[in-house]
Chains A and B, each alone.
Chain A
Amino acid sequence: MDFQLTDDQRALRAGVRELLERRLSAPGSSRGSGRAGPPGSAPGAEDGLDRGLWRQLGEAGFFSLMLPEERGGVGLGLPEAVLAFEEAGRVLLPGPAVASFLAAGEVAGAAAGETVVTAVDGTLVPWLAEADVVLGDASGAVPLRSVDPLTPLHRVPGTPGAGRGVTEAGRGGPGGPGPGVLLYAAEQLGSAARTCEAAVQYARDREQFGRPIGAFQAVQHLCAQMLVRAEVARAAVYAAAVTRDPLEVAGAKLLADDAAVRNARDCLQVHGGMGFTWEAQVHLHLKRAWVRAQLGQVAEEAEEALASAL
């Protein structure tokens, strides 16, 4: 047993981080929240999907990471995919990355990032207007004023959790949650770790009463709990990537959702008044975490699945 990252996995993670950070902090990238419109604008009213970024990710092998080499892919496994999506979660990569990733090799152009693929996920469809291909039945889709300014959303009629338009990208097949659920969990993990780091950095820099606020135990303990949430979720997500056990995937999504949402809340709290502003960007992690919590497998489904196996 050696449940730690291999050297290759560390190198992969570093490479993906470098690529995403370079691309998403560059001027004119799709990230800059300063350029994002007011909250709740209609889908597509934002800057739209950055297709240049999408192609660049395709060229770098992001979407074809798990595609066998004989089919033009990188030939790596779910643990490596999880590491890549963790990085995507850290930087709030906009776009239907999970659906496009799972469509690589199935939908022409998806692996290369030429074709943007989205999927119906429960009653939600992210990036419907921007996508070239929609998997599942999106008829009757109505745009929402998405809470996340970087994720346009449509709703399709149906009951939540009823599994309309079940795809591998979403709720998985009858055998339990598919890899898509775990990739959302990996994004949540990346977000949870990132907001923990951001809170710690701010607590070191921000001074009140003549000392960094991070010297106050009340703030220290918020930060410590953030680390605990992220690290417990990490163990669950990585293990589920190795075993692919449906119950472990369900548990990983549950704990990663929790870590991402609660860490973003605590990060916002540590930032004080600044945390409540648009420009501080903490809200973007919280809002995306709320969106991801509704995708793949929601808490109720995961908890019921875990309970029924007891």
Chain B
Amino acid sequence: MDLTYTEEEEAFRAGLREWLAAALPKLPAKPSPQDWPGRRAYDTAWQRTLYDAGYGHVHWDASPTQRLIFLEETEKAGAPYVGANFVGLLHAGPTIASEGTPEQRARWLPPVLRGDEVWCQGFSEPDAGSDLASLRTRAWRDGDHYVVSGSKIWTSHAEVADWCELLVRTTPVSEAVPKHRGITWLAMPMDAPGITVRPLRTLAGSTEFAEVFLDEVRVPAVNRVGDENDGWRVTMVTLSYERGTAFVGEVVACRRVLGEIAREARGNGLWDDPALRRRLGRLAAEFSALWRLTQWNVSEAQRSGGVPGVGGSVFKLRYSHARQELYEAAAQVLGAGALDLGHEWSLDRLSSLSYTIAAGTSQIQRSIVAERILGLPKGR
């Protein structure tokens, strides 16, 4: 059990800090949340800056520990988030790197690293959420193309994306073909005819997601990654990738916010309430432990050659709940002020409600833990 970083890791951290201190003051002004083209330009420009400085590959090539350091230091320095580059860097990119042909890797990976192209994700459907494998968007072969019809939902950055990593059904479900076996992974160009994007307004008032309607969209067959009907396995490569270090920056941010909540309470007199102090004290223990659990999981991934372990589900279950608790405590400290959406914490309180739902609801995560980690019989 060693929590000290190696000389090499410390050198990486020091170099990154120094570079961030020089690079961040040169950032342009942040675009407004509703300015999608502006957000895309801002996020991709940041990725280009990282790329030029040699940090563009960090999500792919760096060791798990270096990735942890990168996410920790960029959050502490207040650097931009991965934003519009998320799917390209953390979902589609790793999938193509692992499952794509040399030609596919050469075509799609460099533009993601340089911040030239943005990807979105077409996985979930209105009737396929937690039960993703039941998706019904159909694709049939027509010469050297697939023709795709159906609809996708919860697609972030669909308005500004160049590519969509799309899961489609190429073989209908039957007694001989279970639902996981008839799915294919396609890279769909977002400027193809037949695509309609409709923004979805979240309960926080923002339009973070969109519905994507597909009406006989033609996708070249060479855009298929992996074999036809093997898309479920191809996708699982991607999904396991996001578990290891996905929330590093957020845990760092939560610990900072907790300190700010304590400062606010000291200022407005609520600190005299021992119940509130104890609530915040417990949250401090919670986020400290979540940070250590992250280091534990990263070390495990490092030992296993980069493969994230089962710790991801354990972490997500606890973290998503802790984040909601954090913003409930913030609301207690703000009192009536928590009703003012002008306060950052009020908006963050609203968005925290998605954490126990997105990327696998807590209920699904518990079933995964019960069956895959604890070895309990298949649930019903």
Binding site for B on A (CB under 8 A): 1-6, 9, 79, 196, 200, 203-204, 211-212, 214-217, 219-221, 223-225, 227-228, 231-236, 238-239, 241-243, 247-248, 250-252, 254-255, 299-300, 302-310
Determine whether the beta carbon of B299 is less than 8 Å from that of A231. no
* B317 interface neighbour in A1, A217, A224, A243, Cβ under 8 Å: A224
Q: Which residues from chain A contact B274 at a C-beta distance below 8 Å?
A: 304
- Can you identify 30 A-B contacts, CB atoms within 8 angstroms? A1-B299, A2-B302, A3-B1, A3-B299, A4-B296, A79-B1, A200-B375, A215-B376, A220-B374, A223-B374, A224-B366, A224-B367, A225-B366, A227-B314, A227-B373, A228-B317, A232-B318, A235-B292, A238-B1, A238-B292, A239-B292, A251-B288, A254-B285, A299-B278, A300-B278, A303-B277, A303-B278, A304-B277, A306-B285, A310-B262
Query: Would you give the shortest CB distance from A239 to chain B, in whole angstroms?
Result: 4
- Most A-side CB within 10 Å, residue of B259, B293, B302, B380: B293
Q: What is the chain A residue whose CB lies nearest that of B4?
A: A1
Q: Is B369 an interface residue (CB 8 A)?
A: yes
Knowing that A221-B370, A224-B369, A239-B289 are A-B contacts, what are 10 other residue pairs whose CB atoms are under 8 Å apart, sorted by A's residue number? Answer: A3-B3, A4-B300, A4-B303, A6-B1, A223-B376, A227-B373, A231-B311, A235-B289, A238-B296, A307-B278
A2, A211, A239, A247 — most chain B CB neighbours (10 Å): A2
**Cβ distance A76 to chain B, nearest Cβ, rounded Å:** 12
Q: Are B374 and A224 in contact (CB under 8 A)?
A: yes
A302 touches B285 (CB 8 A): yes
A211 B377 Cβ-Cβ under 8 A? yes
Whether B288 contacts A220 by the Cβ 8 Å rule is: no
> Which residues of the partner chain B approach A254 to less than 8 Å between Cβ atoms?
282, 285
Beyond A241-B1, A242-B2, A251-B289, whether A303 also contacts B281 by CB under 8 A is yes
Chain B interfacial residues counted at CB < 8 A: 53
Chain B: which residue is nearest A250 at the CB level?
Answer: B285
Shortest beta-carbon distance from A254 to chain B in Å:
5
Given contacts A2-B2, A203-B376, contact A235 B367 (CB under 8 A): no
Known contacts A225-B366, A232-B314, A310-B258; decide if A3 and B281 are in contact (CB<8 Å). no
- Interface flag for B5 (CB, 8 Å): yes
Whether B30 sits at the interface, judged by CB under 8 Å, is no
Binary A-proximity of B360-376 (CB < 8 A = 1, otherwise 0): 00010111011101111
For window 1-40 of B, CB contacts with A under 8 Å fall at 1-6, 9
Is B278 within 8 A of A304, CB to CB? yes
B365 smallest CB distance to A (angstroms): 8
**Residue B284 is within 8 A (CB to CB) of chain A in the complex:** yes
- CA distance in complex: A216, B376 (Å): 9
